[in-house]
Structure formats: C-alpha cells, structure tokens
C-alpha cells in the first residue's frame, strides 16, 4: 500500500508557485526577526488555507512583499504601537485584497494612534459648552 501511495503522489505535478510562496514567507520572517522586541509572529507553516490566500494575492499587480514591508516599517500602529497592542499578522496581510493595499497607502501612518486622537479627523473634539447628547 505504501509503494502504491508513493506512485500516486509522485504523479502530482509540483505547484509552480511554490518558489514564490516560499520567497514571500521568507521576506516576512526575515523582517519579523530583524525587529527588536517584535510583537510580530513569524510564519511557521504554510497551510493550505494560507496557500490559497497567498495564491490569490500573487495574482494581484500591487502585491509585492518587499514594498509592503517597506511601508509596514513606517507605520508603528501595525507593529503593536496602538491602544490595545494589536499587531498586523501575515494572515491579516494576505486575508483579502484590501489589507495590504491599506499598508501600501500608509493608512495606518498617523491619526489612528492614541497620541493623536484629540486632533484626529476620526474623533471629534467635544465642545464643553454643548450639552451631552446621551
């Protein structure tokens, strides 16, 4: 039975994207390991679910892990420097076709951290002369 299974498995063609998958994961892991006191997690295993999502991202013109990491470095919010310590993960980056684009657009660069809430366009400053509406 074992030799039969090997024969069947050896007929499965290799995934042509395997090298690209490994390259993207290596870039992410190298970045995470280079950050001192990082709260970010390395990728330990490329599961089928991750492969499917990563395959989808690799078909998108704007998806380039090197570019994403360069923009990621400029946005401390993504590395846990925020009110609740949330960090962006590899899975979050590849989850859909918008998360990594937000990183490339530097959506998390400023205005979303605790130091900048009072002047942020996201939270209005309360007028002390107006009665509370609740």
Q: Which pLDDT score, from 0 to 100, does residue 37 have?
A: 83
Q: CB count, 10 Å around CB of 132?
A: 5
Tens-digit pLDDT profile for residues 13-57:
556 678 899 999 999 999 999 998 889 999 999 999 999 999 999
Q: Which pLDDT score, from 0 to 100, does residue 116 have?
A: 40
The candidate with the shortest Cα–Cα distance to 68, out of 49, 88, 84, is: 88
Q: Quick one: average pLDDT of 44-71?
A: 96
Q: Which pLDDT score, from 0 to 100, does residue 59 have?
A: 95
- Those residues with Cβ within 8 angstroms of residue 121's Cβ, 6 or more apart along the chain or in another chain: 111
Compute, in degrees rounded to 10, the torsion defined by CA atoms 68, 71, 76, 82.
-60
Tens-digit pLDDT profile for residues 75-104:
999 999 999 999 999 999 999 999 999 999
């Amino acid at each position: 039975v074992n030799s039969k299974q090997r024969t069947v498995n050896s007929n499965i063609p290799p995934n042509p994207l395997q090298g690209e998958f490994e390259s993207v994961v290596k870039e992410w892991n190298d970045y995470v390991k280079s950050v001192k006191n990082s709260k970010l997690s390395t990728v330990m295993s490329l599961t089928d679910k991750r492969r499917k999502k990563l395959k989808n991202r690799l078909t998108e013109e704007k998806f380039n892990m090197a570019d994403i990491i360069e923009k990621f470095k400029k946005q401390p919010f993504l590395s846990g420097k925020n009110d609740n310590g949330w960090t962006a993960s590899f899975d979050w980056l590849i989850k859909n076709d918008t998360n990594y684009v937000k990183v490339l657009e530097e959506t998390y660069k400023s205005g979303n951290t605790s130091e900048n809430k009072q002047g942020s366009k996201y939270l209005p400053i309360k007028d002390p002369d107006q009665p509370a509406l609740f």
